[in-house]
Amino acid sequence: MNHDGDENNSSSSELDSIISYVKYEFKNILAKRKDLILKLGEAYEKVVSNPESICEEIKTALHEEIAQKIVSARIIEKYCHDKWKRKTRALIRNWHLNHFHAPEPKMIKNWNHIYRGL
């Protein structure tokens, strides 16, 4: 009597179990990464005078991990609270609004020239 079918089902079941475990652990890694960044930011809140510098402080503290590609500066920015970031985007947007406004439309003096053919 051959039990190869049972072995295949058992192997398949074990593989499915391992796949589920690995997926679960990857999700935990992502969640843990966020938690770690927030924990570090909250610790910086207690010691820095300017909360807008915290995100930069975190990136500086984790520069080796960024270099080793364990975490990226982009991910750190993503998980930092807005109050921990410099307000550069708003400043840039306001600068553009003040310096690159649309030109005022020129007055057309002779409308007859435009509508001559009508």
Residue at 110 is within a domain: no
Q: Give a yes or no: residue 63 inside a domain.
A: yes
Segment 80-108 shows an average pLDDT of: 66
- Does any domain span residue 108? no
Our count of domains for the chain comes to 1
Domain-located, residue 107: no
Contact (CB, 8 A) for 55 and 37: no
The tens digit of pLDDT for each residue in 71-80 reads 999 999 999 9
Residue type, 54: I
| Any domain includes 81 | yes
17: containing domain? 4-102
Q: What is the percentage of the chain residues whose pLDDT exceeds 70?
A: 67
Over residues 24-47, mean pLDDT = 94
Is residue 28 in some structural domain? yes
The percentage of residues in the chain with a pLDDT greater than 90, rounded to a whole number, is 57
More confident residue, 102 or 42: 42
- Identify the pLDDT of residue 1: 47
Model pTM? 0.60
CA distances in angstroms from 49 to 54, 57, 61, 62, listed in the order given:
10, 12, 17, 20
19 falls within a domain: yes
d(CA 15, CA 25): 15
> Is residue 117 in some structural domain?
no
* Alpha-carbon span 73 to 60, nearest angstrom: 10
Q: What is the pLDDT of residue 95?
A: 57
